[in-house]
Structure 1
């Protein structure tokens, strides 16, 4: 049966085995421990025959002393070998999980912006979390159980052959039945294992939406609806998980039944061998103990398929990420520092799966030292337009030029080094003020440079009141700060970057009047001598822009200064009049 993604599970598993190459020495030591464990199990099985024949039948006093010592020695060696295999297998497994998490996060950060529109962040977190653990279990933990129990089966079969090859061959007639059973179990595990992983991601997404928006959930009385949504997904996960457990339980019961049939066959043929004088009492006990050791080993081999196929299903999800195409980055033209001349030439953009284009035929020029305001109704394409400049998306038609050359001529890292962004949703981390302002490539900045940026952004007035100043922690996503304070830290970061292109995406839309005045004053220090593009909801904030672009339904319908656009009496004048009436009301 093919895997859900269309690839052979064994091909996927072979690919997974490639992940353990950095840990091959740990695995070799673990394998050595497993071999010693198997040999110790076989040695104990061999001792069971003289244990009975010499101690209880022949009453040999010498064996009554030596055998207990030998048994203790065997289990001491087996315990040491078990520790060796457990430790180094765990080291390899946890290393593989760590590597998969790092590789997946690195890959996500190299994927184009469209990927983040198609896959919600909670689903990404599932891949980075539980999927990586499941892969480690499939690669190493399941491999350990399979090797350990397979060696146990081989060692005990060797003991049985040593005791009586005739009886052993008769019992081995059950082998094809067991192989068929394990294949059927594997097919069922694969079918449901992938579905369990998908529903787990959907559950996390539903929980993330409900918890992240808990205020709206409470205000709009949607607690019951959100709980019902989450409960429905939880019920689906429970149903699928129970099917997996039922598969495991039924297969385990059938293996035990098969083992009981094997014991019955062993007893039947062993009695015939004993009557023929070819099997002693010790040999019979040896056969029984070996057979009783094989049955739980087969049971574990059947159960481990659940772990194995859950890991394969998780690996498919991770490989879908790792195999995805990176952002296109073929530019070679050097760009130490741009002048900032931006030209849009008949640019169009359509998002995948959308019939209606987000942008159509956009053409304009933004010159260094000027402010270009972009206004329009919600959904008119304002944010889509500015996201084309750092190439979060690439246009479907037309060209965008920077300093006379297409954006694609430049390396992505060089291009994005020319851009600073301040948005309505500020990105802050659970670190200090200093770490958040001097973020990423800005980290070599000195404390004095950070303080100058904080002063210019009107942020020092609240930073100086924090318990440890710029070394104060601001909480997850800056949760210990107000909206205006977070915005001013973002402006300080942009000032420290000193990029020639500045993008302001409704940076003051969610602020109160006092905070907005402070932020606007900080922006006044940031804007000069740059090419600035401002997305504005409040038209009063862009009246002094050098040019205003009016978007409507993805098209550039008007362009000019505030006075020119008002005089035309078009879309801009209509929007301005509406806001003026709202402000006067």
Structure 2
């Protein structure tokens, strides 16, 4: 396994940063540092010859030029390196976003939405801060410190040795304190990500929270997370409280040493007053970069943690949308052959399920709750792969076809069809690659019995539906979902309890819309209501993940005891 810092370098390289721009930025930073190092030397000569009559024009011009170069090169280098950093982060976020979109559904079954959001925003933000804000300061800081030390030895090596004699002692305190600070920072980062995930989950389900009177419970949970962050923040503050006076004390000790020993050196003629003044300036040119370097190290530790989390996502297996033979043949039978499936190895959901959905016919899948009906639909959509067995379309397994091409064949309408924040038009045309004319959209809406209520809205098809379509009724949302399915023109239609959550009036309208949608298509239906099941060409009865009966409504009602009970109780048929 690569060292953690190499993982960060590898991750940055994969974003293909503009190397020429980066080299220019580093070059300008070096020029800025060299100019800042030249200023004290030039100033020392000016101090040693501080007489109006003896002022050196060359020295004054040199100081002005150094200030100008420092300001101009510094400003441009900051802009250039910030642009490079933004390019790296934009590329990284694009990779991460693409990855999140092609990860299998199983990933989202096991991870909270807030976790993915945190990776996309918080962790990439940490990496961005290191690159755009701290990296440049670290590089120029190292150059500035090394350059200043060399010049100090050149000016007066005995005074330089006295000044640096304090460093070994200071490191005895600073290194353990710095390590503790890095540990706290990593914990703080992890807790912040967890808190972000909790916030996302609660706020996205705020109606459930209120309907369940769970405000107090969520307040307690949130307060617990906030208190954890508070305690970590206080611990971070304690470390900073130790670091700040420690560093200040070290600076004062160094200043006293320079003033005392330096004064002796000047009085003995071993060095000039200008050189002593330069010593003080170079001291601050060492202290400031060291502070930046300490901050960089702390930020680097945070970034290593963020990098690991981003890489855990980028290295996951993804759905291969284009892999396969390409286009799916038209109008074939859909056959399920000995399919078994489990989410957990010791908890089978489907066991040796076999049935055939004939092309152009309606096949209903019924059974008690938890029998695996919706899971069967998920396998057909290839959200999951069967543990054993195959699902065939024609003579080929559906896994043989390109996933993108296969899903174009499918239309799905569930009991709570997803509607996202946006306009009705955006929801109707969502996911369609080819441009759809307004006339075609209206035609689909009319067939779905959605056009009349859409027309009555203030902004018609441009009406904003709110988050999850909250501004629409259940029946309206279902009709929009049906119109969307009509626009996709699927060959295989899957209806998952499409009318179970509707009132009787809405159900009548939606049933008419569904009949329009089902014409000429191979239809798979999960339903509890007689009106949806009784006319099906074939009914598949699932019980605890196993097929216990296949036939028409009359055949099963005559021969299948559990189906009789199911029909009497759930479809309200009198025996």
Query: Do they fold alike, i.e. is TM over 0.5?
Result: yes
Match in the other structure for 2:496? 505
Q: In the aligned structure 1, how far is the partner of 2:419 from the partner of 2:171?
A: 55
Residues 324, 403 of structure 2: 8 Å contact kept: no
Post-superposition offset of 1:24: 2.6
Q: Structure 2 vs 1, CA of residues 555 and 188 (structure 1 numbering), >3 Å: closer, same or farther? A: farther
The 5-angstrom pairing of residues 136-175 of structure 1 reads 136-174=128-166
2:87 aligned with 1:95: yes
2:508 aligned with 1:517: yes
Q: Structure 2 vs 1, CA of residues 419 and 219 (structure 1 numbering), >3 Å: closer, same or farther? A: closer
Residues 341, 388 of structure 2: 8 Å contact kept: yes
Residues 549, 560 of structure 2: 8 Å contact kept: no
Residues 415, 496 of structure 2: 8 Å contact kept: yes
Aligned equivalent of 2:110, options 96, 114, 118: 118
The 5-angstrom pairing of residues 329-348 of structure 1 reads 332-348=324-340
3-state SS of 2:163 partner: helix
Q: Structure 2 vs 1, CA of residues 211 and 331 (structure 1 numbering), >3 Å: closer, same or farther? A: closer
Match in the other structure for 1:316? 308
Residues 474, 481 of structure 1: 8 Å contact kept: yes
Residues 528, 570 of structure 2: 8 Å contact kept: no
Q: In the aligned structure 1, how far is the partner of 2:19 from the partner of 2:173?
A: 32
Match in the other structure for 1:548? 539
Match in the other structure for 1:534? 525
2:478 aligned with 1:487: yes
* TM-score (normalizing by structure 2): 0.91
Q: In the aligned structure 2, how far is the partner of 1:574 from the partner of 1:149?
A: 80
Q: Structure 2 vs 1, CA of residues 155 and 342 (structure 1 numbering), >3 Å: closer, same or farther? A: same
Q: Structure 2 vs 1, CA of residues 280 and 227 (structure 1 numbering), >3 Å: closer, same or farther? A: same
3-state SS of 1:441 partner: coil
2:279 aligned with 1:287: yes
3-state SS of 1:338 partner: coil
Moved more, 46-55 or 425-434: 425-434
Post-superposition offset of 1:317: 0.9
Q: In the aligned structure 2, how far is the partner of 1:20 from the partner of 1:26?
A: 14
Q: In the aligned structure 2, how far is the partner of 1:23 from the partner of 1:288?
A: 39
* TM-score (normalizing by structure 1): 0.90
Moved more, 27-36 or 71-80: 71-80
2:26 aligned with 1:31: yes
Match in the other structure for 2:38? 43
Residues 422, 507 of structure 1: 8 Å contact kept: yes
Moved more, 35-44 or 14-23: 14-23
The 5-angstrom pairing of residues 374-393 of structure 1 reads 374-393=365-384
3-state SS of 1:359 partner: strand
Residues 199, 237 of structure 1: 8 Å contact kept: yes
Post-superposition offset of 1:301: 1.2
Post-superposition offset of 1:438: 2.1
Post-superposition offset of 1:323: 0.8
The 5-angstrom pairing of residues 461-480 of structure 1 reads 461-480=452-471
Unmatched 5+ stretches in structure 2? none
Q: In the aligned structure 2, how far is the partner of 1:129 from the partner of 1:361?
A: 43
Post-superposition offset of 1:290: 0.9
Post-superposition offset of 1:310: 1.8
Q: Structure 2 vs 1, CA of residues 283 and 443 (structure 1 numbering), >3 Å: closer, same or farther? A: same
Q: In the aligned structure 2, how far is the partner of 1:557 from the partner of 1:177?
A: 80
Q: In the aligned structure 2, how far is the partner of 1:229 from the partner of 1:335?
A: 50
Residues 415, 498 of structure 2: 8 Å contact kept: yes
Q: Structure 2 vs 1, CA of residues 110 and 544 (structure 1 numbering), >3 Å: closer, same or farther? A: same
The 5-angstrom pairing of residues 100-499 of structure 1 reads 100-174=92-166, 184=176, 187-274=179-266, 276-327=268-319, 332-352=324-344, 355-499=346-490
3-state SS of 1:470 partner: helix
Q: C-alpha deviations, 1:400-451, integer Å up to 9, x for none?
A: 1111111221111121121111122323333333332222234422222222
Q: In the aligned structure 2, how far is the partner of 1:258 from the partner of 1:497?
A: 72
Q: In the aligned structure 1, how far is the partner of 2:184 from the partner of 2:523?
A: 53
Q: In the aligned structure 1, how far is the partner of 2:103 from the partner of 2:209?
A: 32
Q: In the aligned structure 2, how far is the partner of 1:563 from the partner of 1:391?
A: 32
Q: What RMSD in Å do the two structures reach over aligned CA positions?
A: 2.7
3-state SS of 1:22 partner: coil
Residues 343, 365 of structure 1: 8 Å contact kept: yes
Q: Structure 2 vs 1, CA of residues 443 and 333 (structure 1 numbering), >3 Å: closer, same or farther? A: closer
2:3 aligned with 1:8: yes
Q: Structure 2 vs 1, CA of residues 489 and 42 (structure 1 numbering), >3 Å: closer, same or farther? A: same
Q: Structure 2 vs 1, CA of residues 181 and 535 (structure 1 numbering), >3 Å: closer, same or farther? A: farther
Match in the other structure for 2:66? 74
Q: In the aligned structure 1, how far is the partner of 2:150 from the partner of 2:265?
A: 18
